[in-house]
Structure 1
């Protein structure tokens, strides 16, 4: 597995179906408060604006599960947004890895998956675009997107 799948693997290893359901519900039920980085900053904070691009031009609110990790970290933070919206997150300046999963909750399918490296400048706004591609079965297996009983977390 390459280093670019770290945030997705972290999410997959910790994701039970109820976690994914809660994140999707949070996106669809209304606008959550603006996300913030969970730990105090050692460096001056910056803002990252994360957008997810996906070929789907759905007219319904499509949930996206974002993960954000500092480079070299084995843990991260999960955010939920709606496809087409921009997440503005205050984080300490530095290098990060972001990943996105585009989910169709009605059919419980994974519509897209993507990742991107980003650098957040202190006291500035840094844009980040994550291109999401349709996932393949080998990628799903590699990431371990399965429930504890071994059944797939999503259909393709």
Structure 2
């Protein structure tokens, strides 16, 4: 894992460790949420990114996915919630981004999948992005810092 990817995923993990995770999971499971929007005004012409998360689990239940986007070179990002198998359409300023996804089972507090992808969003156009989520491993979870402030794991794997 390169330093840029590691840094972006660490930010992602730290955000997940807060109560943000519970709120996003609830939002994903509570019916149809509002369409996701980028929180800042565009410095460049806006485009649309269509993000789909693929996971080996063919879930018959609504499985929440926590999705984050970071602008290239930024130390912060924005988190979105969606349901596995659905596509998120997000209007963002044109440019380069890093997207990461966590597939979670809220009932058992398990992390079913984690994945990431770099993407380029074209101004005035639609850019598709597929994030493949694979099974998490203990070393990856330790590297990302997926722990609560008291040191206990945030998820079981």
Please give the range of the TM-score, normalised by the shorter of the 2 chains: over 0.9
User: What SS does the corresponding residue of 2:21 show, helix, strand or coil?
Assistant: helix
Residue of structure 2 in register with 1:22 after alignment: 23
**Counterparts of 2:134 and 2:50 in 1: how far apart (Å)?**
20
- Residues 95-148 of structure 1, C-alpha deviation per residue, up to 9 Å, x if partnerless? 000000000111110000000000000010000000000000000000001111
Residue of structure 1 in register with 2:123 after alignment: 122
State whether structure 2 residue 132 is matched by structure 1 residue 131. Answer: yes
User: What SS does the corresponding residue of 1:140 show, helix, strand or coil?
Assistant: helix
Residue of structure 1 in register with 2:58 after alignment: 57
**Counterparts of 1:43 and 1:23 in 2: how far apart (Å)?**
28
Is the CA contact 2:68–2:99 (under 8 Å) kept in the aligned structure 1?
Answer: yes
**Counterparts of 1:84 and 1:59 in 2: how far apart (Å)?**
10
Which stretches in structure 1 are left out of the alignment for 5+ residues? Answer: none
Q: CA RMSD, aligned part only?
A: 1.1
**Counterparts of 2:96 and 2:87 in 1: how far apart (Å)?**
19
In the superposition, the TM-score normalised over structure 1's length comes to: 0.96
**Counterparts of 1:45 and 1:58 in 2: how far apart (Å)?**
34
In the superposition, the TM-score normalised over structure 2's length comes to: 0.96
**Counterparts of 1:6 and 1:80 in 2: how far apart (Å)?**
21
Is the CA contact 2:66–2:80 (under 8 Å) kept in the aligned structure 1?
Answer: yes
Residue of structure 2 in register with 1:10 after alignment: 11
User: What SS does the corresponding residue of 1:12 show, helix, strand or coil?
Assistant: helix
Residue of structure 2 in register with 1:37 after alignment: 38
Residue of structure 2 in register with 1:89 after alignment: 90
Is the CA contact 1:7–1:68 (under 8 Å) kept in the aligned structure 2?
Answer: no
Tell me whether 27-36 or 108-117 shows the greater mean CA deviation: 27-36
**Counterparts of 1:15 and 1:5 in 2: how far apart (Å)?**
15
Tell me whether 23-32 or 88-97 shows the greater mean CA deviation: 23-32
